Structure 1
Amino acid sequence: MALGLAGTAAIVIPSMSAQAETVQVDMNYHCTGGVAGAAGVDLKVTLTLQTALAVGQPLDVRWSLAYRNNTRFLSPGLFQPGARLTATGVVGVTDELWTGELNSVGSKDQVLLQNGGPLELPDLVSGSVSTTEAGVFEVVPRRLLIDFTPPAAETVVNDDDPAVTYVGTDWTDYNDRPAQNKDIHEDVHASDVNGAEASFTFTGTGVDFITEQDYRAGQVRFTVDGKPGIPATADASKDTEGRPVVVANQGNYTLWGMRKLPYGEHTLVVKKTDAKWAMVDGFRVVTEALLDPPKQFRARCEPVKKPTAIRVNIGGGDTPTSPSPDSSPSASPDTSPSGSPSASPSGTPGGNSPSPSPSGTPSTTPSSSPSAAATQSYLTSVVVKGSPSPTATRTVTLTATPTVAQVAVTPQGGAQTGEAPERMAASGPLLLGSGGALLTIGVLSGVALLRRRAAHAGERG
């Protein structure tokens, strides 16, 4: 009996593991529009993912990008350091009951950029996809989006810059002004003609009008892109409370400003409304911090050839510690300006608003356990589209890392990404049977021994 119990204990606690299988797929993409320019840009894309996983083990889809054919994404202007190039790679994830998309997002901050200068590419690291049951699904590479975000900045433009236009001969250019006036570059344009106009074309989200504050100045009217400015008028002979001033020739004075314009090219027109003096000392162009990249800079990339679906097998293993029992999608977006989007289900690709779905639909649950961060890589997101059949009984959980990547980007041919337990579906009955057999053997052996002892005692009696 003791032997049977010892044998059972030895069989119940095996220790085995299996290596996760990783595959790399190289594809060519062609990009058009936005920062891709008129000729377009060619990219080599390497997709890395695991094809054999245990239930509950995350599927990590990693992208890496490289330029091809001497093509480059180009800067749409002159920018100080801090501009950002963001890439969003999309793969379709499907099985027999549902269809979804896994987005991989990566960003690269740029150095000082010249107009038309090359842009540096980011790396991409995906979020994680986990399932609560064994099965097979397919991953298909889809589109790649490239976005450019200008940095927050302010630039002062002098009155004689080519971007400033003066109508007719109503304005006089005064140079070598006294230093105590504090004029920008010690010069101004001035006019005392009623109706005189000056226009300024700029690119940004805001603009300021800079003049001289002077008790002899008059009122000017502002229009932006043909619409009245906010406010519509200002008077350099009055302070911010509307009281007359007693100073004269106080240059580099910001009289008026406007913000929250959509990023892009705008035209400001300054018009005198009386016969008093008006002076143009300069303008300040403002680009505020942008939450979303300007759409005019977006490049869209598509595979040159139709990609092949990659089959992923989900084997036995531990059930995820916190699967979502709720069939309705839920997400906790991250609005940090570091380039970190969040997981959000939608009925359309790339959507941001959840749509209702019947019982058994996929759900998204943000992960609260971030792992190692990847350099220049930012938040990933998962987007689920479509609705599965109402009779679906399988539960699928998509999990995204809100703030940091779950795995580091590895080069092509890199090491295995991890280990997963082998399936042990038939081990339970086998272990119970083996233990029971050993227990029976032990009992029978004990009975036989007792009989032999009894017989031996009878003979001796």
Structure 2
Amino acid sequence: MRWRAGRRRTLAAAIVSVAGGALLALPLASAKAETVQVDLNYNCTGGVAGPSGVNLKVTLTLQTALTAGQPLDIKWGVAYRDGTRFLSPGLFQPGARVSATGVVDINGPWAGKLDSLGSKDQALLQNGGALALPDLISGAVATTAEGEIEIVPRRLLLDFTPPASEAVVNDDDPAVTYGPNWTDYNDRDGNIGDVHVDVHASQVMGAEAAFKFTGTGVDFISEQSNQAGQVQFLVDGQPGIPATADASKEHDGSPVLVANKGNYTLWGMRGLPYKEHTLTVKKLDTRWAMVDGFKAVTEQLVDPPKQFRAECKPVKKPTAIRVNVGGTASPSISPSDSISGSPSVTPSGSVTPTGTPTPTGTGSHSPSPSTSNTQSQLTTVVVLGTPTPTATTTVTLTATPTVAQVKVTPKGGAQTGEAPVANASGRLLVGSGSVMLLVGVLSGVALLRRRAAHAGDRSETV
């Protein structure tokens, strides 16, 4: 049993020697980005923040260690900090939107501002109802240079955008007011088609009616009739476009043949700024003028109305957040770089190169000492074969933009189709591996002979 155990240890030593001489790899280690979170308190005023203001908790999340060229991504988490809320400025159908813009200053090798954006579509809103906040506000910019930069949180802007909508308002709605000389006619013939089967009418020149609305457009709904006359339109005191209309004429100027046709859109205007407006309708003759209703229109808005914007600022002056932007974390290669031989085995079984350095590769393809490389990789593999091992060395350099990549494969490498070129470094490396293998095998044979002789001595004594 002792002889067998000794034989196993000898063979194991030989196998480790072969394995150690067969593979030596130096992998590159990539840097890991570090993420930090910073909590800040913000106070908001103006717009949908109302007269009492709104308090927010803001959490900034960003990476503090980057490689040049990687994006710097800044995320804002926004939440209500107490019972204060942003409030809806009116009654709105689903589709209104709350959008937020977080702004930070960037100082360092390159400077500027970064806007992080986010939005949240709203459900049905009651006038004065609470608004839902965006879940996350995010923005990114590419890092263009190495160095340390500072991120300073600045203001947070919150905007409210109403949805596109149309709402018909009847002639007796509280939003419609009348001067003297108007009569309210109810329960009209249903065949006429009036809105809610009623109208206000007048034959007095100069009689006026006004409609207050919020939106970007408005329509005047009347009755088309051969007995009607001309009316004038003013929007916020200015002539409308067009300024007048006549319910006794078709749009092409031909006379109307019907006596009464209700729910008829006589005039309309679009493209107004989103806000509260007043449309005034004024009679210009003594023929009939009838008010059947109005339509308030909000078109699809590209930009949020400015009157709803709330501006939020940090309660305390925020501390700058430092971000380190470095180059790729890898060594450069020069002709003096070398590969260590005589590997040893660590307790975990990994191979660690130790000992004296072996000769380095030479030739016209070696990089010059003045070359500055931003990324480099060196891999050496010795392949065991019969009868003679073949060595293949590959050096890959990713240089600065002014230096081309260099790939060196000595002749006689794998799949080159060329005869090997005599090289002292290669012969020395192959010879060292062969000697290691031979020494291991001979040591095992010698040990076997000694143990056999010893066994013979013991049998003679017995």
Q: TM-score, normalised by structure 1?
A: 0.69
Matched to 1:306, the amino acid is K
Alignment pair present for 1:206 and 2:208: no
Q: CA deviation at 1:247?
A: 0.4
1:30 matches 2:68: no
Q: Deviations for 1:41-72, whole angstroms, at most 9, x for unmatched residues?
A: 00000000011112222221111111022010
Structure 1 residues 431 and 33: CA distance shift in structure 2, 3 A: farther
Cα contact 2:72–2:143 (8 A) shared by 1 = no
Deviations 1:319-343 (A, max 9, x none): xxxxxxxxxxxxxxxxxxxxxxxxx
CA contact (8 A) 1:25 1:48 kept: yes
Matched, 1:434 2:339: yes
User: 1:19: how far off?
Assistant: 2.7
**1:212 to 1:8, Cα distance in 2 relative to 1, 3 A:** farther
Which whole-Å CA distance do the structure 2 matches of 1:303 and 1:430 have between them?
56
Give the direction of change, closer, same or farther, for the CA distance of 1:130–1:9 in structure 2 (3 Å limit): farther
Higher alpha-carbon deviation: 222-231 or 29-38: 222-231
Please list, as runs of the form range in 1=range in 2, the aligned pairs for 1:262-281 lying within 5 A after superposition.
262-281=273-292
In 1, the alpha carbon distance for the partners of 2:426 and 2:335 equals: 18
Q: 1:121 aligns with which of 103, 112, 133?
A: 133
Is 1:216 the counterpart of 2:227? The answer is: yes
Q: Which of 11, 17, 23 lines up with 2:30 in the alignment? A: 17
Distance in 1 between residues matched to 2:117 and 2:229, nearest whole Å: 53
Cα distance in structure 1, aligned partners of 2:54 and 2:315: 12
Q: How many residues align?
A: 338
Aligned: 1:152 with 2:161: no
Q: What amino acid is aligned across from residue 73 of structure 2 in structure 1?
A: D
CA-to-aligned-CA distance 1:145-201 (integer Å, 9 cap, x gap): 000001110000000011111102x00000011110110011000001111110111
The corresponding residue for 1:424 is 330
Alpha-carbon distance in 2 for matches of 1:431, 1:92: 45
Larger radius of gyration: 2
1:246 equivalent in alignment to 2:260: no
- Partner of residue 186, structure 1: 197
The C-alpha deviation readout for 1:87-121, integer Å capped at 9, x for no partner, is 000111110x4421111000000011111000000
User: In the alignment, is residue 164 of structure 1 matched against residue 176 of structure 2?
Assistant: yes
Tell me, in whole angstroms, the C-alpha distance in 2 between the residues paired with 1:447 and 1:265. Answer: 93
| Separation of aligned partners in 1, 2:274 and 2:116 | 26
The amino acid that maps onto 2:161 is T
Residues 221 and 266 of structure 2 are in contact (CA less than 8 Å); yes or no, is this contact kept in structure 1?
A: yes
- Structure 1 residue 248: Cα displacement: 1.5
Distance 2:192 2:252 in 1: 23
Is structure 2 residue 120 aligned with structure 1 residue 108? Answer: yes
Moved over 6 A (4+): 6-9, 445-448
Give the AA of the match of 1:153.
Answer: S
SS in 1 for 2:204: coil
Residue 57 to residue 8, structure 1, CA distance change in 2 (3 Å): farther
Give, in whole Å, the separation in 1 of the partners of 2:171 and 2:21: 94
1:177 and 1:265 map into 2 onto residues whose CA distance is 32
Amino acid at match of 2:143: T
* Residue correspondence of structure 1 range 233-382 to structure 2 within 5 A: 233-317=244-328
Aligned counterpart, 1:78: 91
Worse-matched range after superposition: 61-70 or 32-41 = 61-70
How much does 1:133 deviate? 3.6
Give the Å deviation of 1:129.
2.4
Q: Distance in 1 between matches of 2:116 and 2:216?
A: 29
Change (3 A) 1:51 1:7: farther
Q: State the AA in 2 paired with 1:434.
A: I
Structure 1 equivalent of residue 411 of structure 2:
none
CA contact (8 A) 1:202 1:266 kept: yes
Q: In the TM superposition, what is the alpha-carbon distance from 1:132 to its structure 2 partner? A: 3.9
CA drift at 1:443: 5.3
Q: Percent identity?
A: 67
The answer to whether the 8 A contact 1:158-1:185 is kept is yes
Distance across 2 between alignment mates of 1:126 and 1:143:
15
Q: Over residues 261-307 of structure 1, what are the superposed CA-to-partner deviations in whole Å (9 max), with x where a residue is unaligned?
A: 11101111101111100000000000011110010000000000011
Distance verdict in 2 for CA 1:288–1:431, change over 3 Å = farther
Provide the C-alpha distance between the structure 2 equivalents of 1:260 and 1:165, rounded to a whole number of angstroms: 24
Equivalent AA in structure 2 for residue 40 of structure 1: G
Q: Tell me the secondary structure at the aligned position of residue 180 of structure 1.
A: helix
Matched residue, 1:94: 107
Q: Is the 8 Å Cα contact of residues 8 and 435 (structure 1) preserved in structure 2?
A: no
CA distance in 2, matches of 1:55, 1:164: 63
Distance in 2 of aligned mates of 1:7 and 1:128:
48
Seen in structure 2, the aligned counterparts of structure 1 residues 434 and 271 have a Cα distance that, compared at 3 Å, is same
Q: CA deviation at 1:127?
A: 3.0
Cα contact 1:8–1:438 (8 A) shared by 2 = no
Please give the alpha-carbon distance, in whole angstroms, between the structure 1 residues aligned to 2:258 and 2:70: 73
Q: Secondary structure at the match of 2:337?
A: helix
- SS of the aligned residue for 2:359 comes to helix
Q: Which residue number corresponds to residue 420 of structure 1?
A: none
* Local SS of the residue matching 1:432: coil
- Report if the CA contact (8 A) 2:35-2:61 is conserved: yes
Rounded to whole Å, the distance in 1 between the matches of 2:147 and 2:184 is 78
Residues 15, 72 of structure 1: CA spacing in aligned structure 2 closer, same or farther, 3 A cutoff? Answer: same
CA RMSD of aligned residues (A): 2.6
Choose from 26, 49, 56 the match for 2:62.
49
Q: CA deviation at 1:430?
A: 9.5
How much has 1:229 moved relative to structure 2?
0.8
Is contact 1:225–1:268 with CA below 8 Å preserved after alignment?
yes
Q: Sort the Cα spacing of 1:19 and 1:447 in 2 relative to 1 into closer, same or farther, 3 A.
A: closer
For residue 245 of structure 1, report the CA deviation from its aligned partner.
Answer: 0.9
**CA–CA distance in structure 1, aligned partners of residues 320 and 193 of structure 2:** 67
The change in CA–CA distance for 1:10 and 1:250 in structure 2 (over 3 A counts) is: same
- The alpha-carbon deviation at position 429 of structure 1 amounts to 4.5
Offset, 1:442: 5.7
